[in-house]
Amino acid sequence: MRSAYILKNSQYAYMQTMVSIFAGELIKPEKIQVIARESLENILQLSVFKSLANDYQQPIEYNHQHLPAGVIENSLKKILFSEAIKIIRSLQPIDRNFLNYWMCRFELQNIKSIIRGKYLCYENDQIRASLIPLEHFTYLSIDKILHQEDINEILKYLEDTPYALISRYALQHFEQKNDVFSIEASISHQFYEGLNRRRYQFDRNNQNAIHQLLGLIIDQINLITLIRYRLYYGFSAAQTYFHLFSGGLHLYQQYLQKLSEIESFNQVVDYLPEPYQSLLAQAQSIQEIEIILDQNLIEQAYALIKKTRFSVAQAFTYLILREKQLSQLHGIIKGKILGLNQDAIDMALGNQLTIASLMGKQTGER
């Protein structure tokens, strides 16, 4: 038993070192709240933004009001990609494949953006400007996709790529419904079901730890999707349920079926199981639901990363935490550049005081 434990730890030693170093640089949640109240000039002096000056090739403290759209977001994504490469490269193939698949979400986001742009008859240059620059975690030639004649041709082109299963599923539903909603939902559906299947390759401890976070992510996507499609877009209960997928941590099939039948926002919380019923009891909008569920995911990830040393689950947990935190920093800077007031930035960020009031709790209870 001891020799097996030592062998396992040796296999994950480099990954553990990288995660420990990177996790030590994570900004504590309470510090994020302090940063959100700093001036933009001070925020841009944080070490995490050193790469931004290199990407923009100008002194950002003097030019922040003229930063090109997307420069900040893309620079922060480069940080995530760079760290992911260092964490993943030393892992065993089964672990590496799982985490590479997780990081391919960004390429799938680009595919969705291209399909949406083609649907709206945008020029290729317009579409290209909206894409995430990818040097890693990519299998596709963007130029080849952009030069496909229409959406059908894009999906058929993807059948000869690692996304064949996803593209065939999306093409089938696009031919039936002929709308972009069905394509985007189908891509998400197949991606997350594929990721959920892949976790079963691991031992029970890794399976369960991964599901603790992946299940929360799937629950959040399903809940936001059904509210948006059912109440905002006016889809039928059957149409709404079609766009949901399995693998959630708390929202099982019976809850999703019932939630797909809601007629008003006020019914949402009534149909939810715990812990969501308590968590979302005071939420008054889809934005507040997203904020609370995001904050809950971050809290669960912080708790889990300490319990999953020397495992693929810890690497997965770190990548989720890092992405969420970089997204928060991007939101703060974007809010400052747009001149939003502090209350608006706090709400978008999920300020602890705001979250506490939304959840009907005293701040000190958390």
Q: pTM for the full model?
A: 0.89
Residue 46 domain-assigned (yes or no): yes
Residue 225 and residue 185 in contact, taking contact as beta carbons nearer than 8 Å: yes
Q: What angle do CA 201, 206, 209 make, to 5 degrees?
A: 130
Task: Kindly indicate the confidence band of residue 210, based on its pLDDT and cuts at 50, 70 and 90.
Answer: very high
Q: How confident is the model at residue 28 (pLDDT cuts 50, 70, 90)?
A: confident
**Looking at residue 339, what is its pLDDT?**
86
Would the pLDDT of 5 be above 70?
A: no
Percent of the chain with pLDDT over 90: 66
Average pLDDT over residues 280-288: 93
Is there a domain that residue 181 lies in? no
Domain annotation covers residue 239 = no
Looking at residue 53, its pLDDT comes to: 52
Residue 232 falls within a domain, yes or no?
A: no
Quick: pLDDT tens for 156-203.
Answer: 999 999 999 999 999 988 888 788 888 998 999 999 999 999 999 999
Count of CB atoms situated within 10 Å of the CB of 16: 18
Number of domains in the chain: 1
Q: What is the DSSP string of 103-150?
A: HTHHHHHHHHHHHHHHHTT--HHHHHHTSPP-SSS--S-HHHHHTSSS
Residue 49 lies inside a defined structural domain of this protein: yes
Is residue 154 assigned to a domain? no
Report how far apart, in Å, the C-alpha atoms of 302 and of each of 28, 306, 307, 316, 349 are.
10, 7, 9, 12, 17
Domain carrying residue 310 = 12-90+282-366
Taking the CA atoms of residue 65, residue 345, residue 188 and residue 174 in that order, the dihedral angle to the nearest 10 degrees is -70
Task: Evaluate whether residue 311 is within a structural domain.
Answer: yes
Asked if 140 contacts 107 with a C-beta cutoff of 8 angstroms, the reply is yes
Is 38 domain-assigned? yes
